[in-house]
């Protein structure tokens, strides 16, 4: 596994249970609220956006939902993006953020070509650095298990909140912020 920058301490897990924005169960309704770059975190979210005819600027997938392999229809929907996007494979551990993933995320955000980051491991924490690295006005959409899709708008306030969360994780948050702030 590549160099791990930060890991989520057990004591902080509860802080990540609350949605970081409004919940949607319908991709069309969600998309009507979005104006600006779109970052999708999770296979099921990416699948629903693809089904609604939208290619996210950045999609982060790991082939899993709730720690189980995604259904074939979800995997096929994500795979359909392959013809329209650049695909980058990275490693990332459960409960952490690797240097490889964070660097690839940063590059994908600034790349004008849509990118799918295929994670070997787990992508559960990617919404946090995505909000920090994305431009103001962007949208980060991630799945809330058994509830729907969360629309987190990238604002000065959401960036500050994510920086606070990431800075309290175990590891080298300074190195993490150096990568996220580059560009």
Separation of CA 62 from chain center: 11
Average pLDDT taken over every residue of the chain? 89
Residue 76 falls within a domain, yes or no? yes
Q: Please state, as a whole number, how many other Cβ atoms lie within 10 Å of the Cβ of residue 92.
A: 28
Residue 68 falls within a domain, yes or no? yes
Number of folded domains in the chain? 1
Residue-wise pLDDT for 38-93, tens only, equals 999 998 899 999 989 999 999 998 876 666 776 677 777 777 776 777 889 999 99
Residue 94 falls within a domain, yes or no? yes
The response to whether 123 counts as a known ligand-binding position is yes
The response to whether 44 counts as a known ligand-binding position is yes
Residue 65 falls within a domain, yes or no? yes
Residue 26 falls within a domain, yes or no? no
Residue 17: what pLDDT? 85
Is 2 strand, coil or helix?
A: coil
The response to whether 6 counts as a known ligand-binding position is no
pLDDT at position 164 over 90: yes
Full domain range(s) for residue 65: 4-11+36-181
Residue 113 falls within a domain, yes or no? yes
Euclidean distance between CA atoms 79 and 90, whole angstroms: 16
Residue 1: what pLDDT? 45
Residue 81: what pLDDT? 74
DSSP designation for 138: -
Q: What angle do CA 14, 20, 26 make, to 5 degrees?
A: 120
pLDDT at position 96 over 90: yes
Closest by CA position to 165, among listed 135, 129, 134:
129
The response to whether 87 counts as a known ligand-binding position is no
The response to whether 41 counts as a known ligand-binding position is no
Residue 31 falls within a domain, yes or no? no
pTM of the model: 0.92
Query: In sequence order, what are the residues at sequence separation of 6 or more whose Cβ sits closer than 8 angstroms to the Cβ of residue 6?
Result: 96, 97, 166, 169, 170, 171, 172, 173, 176
pLDDT at position 171 over 80: yes
Euclidean distance between CA atoms 70 and 106, whole angstroms: 26
Q: How confident is the model at residue 155 (pLDDT cuts 50, 70, 90)?
A: very high
- CA torsion angle 80 83 86 88 (round to 10): 50
Q: Residue 29 corresponds to which tokens in the numbers above? A: 């309704």
pLDDT at position 12 over 50: yes
Contact 52, 28 (CB under 8 A): yes
Q: What is the mean pLDDT of residues 93-110?
A: 95
Euclidean distance between CA atoms 86 and 182, whole angstroms: 21
pLDDT at position 178 over 90: yes
């Amino acid at each position: 596994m590549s160099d791990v920058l930060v890991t989520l301490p057990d004591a902080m897990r509860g802080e990540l249970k609350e949605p970081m924005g409004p919940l949607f169960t319908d991709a069309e309704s969600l998309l009507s609220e979005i104006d600006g770059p779109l970052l999708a975190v999770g296979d099921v979210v990416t699948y629903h956006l693809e089904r609604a005819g939208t290619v996210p600027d950045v999609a982060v997938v790991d082939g899993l939902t709730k720690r189980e392999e995604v259904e074939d229809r979800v995997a096929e929907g994500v795979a359909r993006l392959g013809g329209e996007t650049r695909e980058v494979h990275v490693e990332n551990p459960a409960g952490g953020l690797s240097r490889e993933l964070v660097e690839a995320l940063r590059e994908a955000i600034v790349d004008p070509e849509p990118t799918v980051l295929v994670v070997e491991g787990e992508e559960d924490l990617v919404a946090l650095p995505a909000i920090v690295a994305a431009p103001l006005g962007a949208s980060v959409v991630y799945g809330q298990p058994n509830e729907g899709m969360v629309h987190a708008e990238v604002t000065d306030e959401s960036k500050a909140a994510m920086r606070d969360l990431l800075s309290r994780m175990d590891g080298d948050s300074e190195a993490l912020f150096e990568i996220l702030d580059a560009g």
